[in-house]
Amino acid sequence: MAEDGIILAGRGLTKRFGGLVAVRDVNLEVQRGEILGLIGPNGAGKSTLFRLIAGIMKPSEGSVAFNGRDISGLRSSAICRRGVVATHQIVRPFRALSVLDNVMVGAFYGRTPRPSRSRARDIAFEMLEFCGLAERAGSPARSLTLSGQKRLEIARALATSPEILLLDEVLAGLNPTETDRTLELVRAINARGITIVIVEHNLRAIRGACSRLAVLDEGRKIAEGSPDDVLADPKVVTAYLGTAHA
Ligand code: ADP
Ligand code: MG
């Protein structure tokens, strides 16, 4: 049964790499329609948690429910077809393919069942327009700036027609103008009814964009709540300052 208002729920998620526990017993609930910020120091387990949710890696323990149904154990392609998609922290477009072709790949793997080539092209083009990349449609992906490649990654993810989009550091490396532009894009995506979880280091940006924050530190969720409360939480401040953990 779908719980009211909860689109995605991770329960007891744990991921071990040999002796290292990258994600420890994390419970995470995402409310339908929200922009949830996931923050925490480098190595806290944020990207790994995204990979567990999107099926890129299998959890050592725990499960993920999407719209009340267990999706853990499904392949990432099957999870994507249901409406859950993640962008990659390290963008890796098919560099020799055109910008349009890269986004068409997303359309072929998404929720629209077996789109024709022309339908996939239409979807891809619409997403490029939405992401401000339409005029670059014919250029090779490698010719884009970092900011352009990040927006390409977002467009590719959107072409799968997700219900929930996991954005991993899409603002990293962008200048202030590009940051604002990409944040506007994130809000516009959310305004289309797509739920967003965003991993971000820029706390000013995240504070303005997110309705709630969750904080990971050394694989554990250490805080969750409104941005103001979370950022004032001494545990969070300590984690960010990198001082010894009490
Ligand atoms: P974050 O995204 O919060 O910076 P990550 O999820 O990338 O953190 O990494 C969490 C921890 O797991 C780090 O110690 C990292 O080195 C480790 N880790 C991540 N991916 C792997 C992997 N594929 N194999 C081994 N260790 C990994
Ligand atoms: Mg990361």
pLDDT at 113: 81
CA of 21, nearest ligand number = 1
**Ligand 1: residues within 6 Å at CB?**
17, 20, 22, 40, 42-48
Nearest CA to ligand 1 atom 27: 17
Q: How far is the CA of 94 from the centre of ligand 1 (A)?
A: 24
Q: How far is the CA of 45 from the centre of ligand 1 (A)?
A: 6
Tell me the DSSP string of 131-197. TT-GGGTTSBGGGS-HHHHHHHHHHHHHTT--SEEEEESTTTT--HHHHHHHHHHHHHHHHTT-EEE
Place of tokens 């739920």: 195
Nearest atom in ligand 1 to the alpha carbon of residue 40 is: 3
pLDDT at 4: 67
User: Taking Cα atoms as reference points, which of 228, 20, 22 lies closest to residue 236?
Assistant: 228
Here the contacts of 233-238 (C-beta below 8 Å, separation 24 or greater) are none
pLDDT at 92: 75
Nearest atom in ligand 1 to the alpha carbon of residue 51 is: 6
Cβ distance 106 to 160 under 8 Å?
A: yes
Here the contacts of 176-180 (C-beta below 8 Å, separation 24 or greater) are 178/147, 179/205
Task: Divide the 246 residues of the chain into consecutive groups of 10 and give the mean pLDDT of each group.
Answer: 79 97 98 97 96 96 97 93 89 84 92 90 97 97 94 95 96 93 96 96 90 96 96 91 56
Site to substitute for ligand 1 among 13, 16, 20, 87, most atoms within 8 A of C-beta: 20
Nearest CA to ligand 1 atom 12: 22
pLDDT at 245: 46
What does residue 90 show for φ and ψ, rounded to 5 degrees?
A: -95, 110
CATH C-level class of 1-83+163-175+190-246: alpha beta
Protein residues with C-beta less than 5 angstroms from the ion ligand 2: 46-47, 89
CA of 169, nearest ligand number = 2
CA of 38, nearest ligand number = 1
User: Residue ranges per domain, the chain?
Assistant: 1-83+163-175+190-246, 87-161
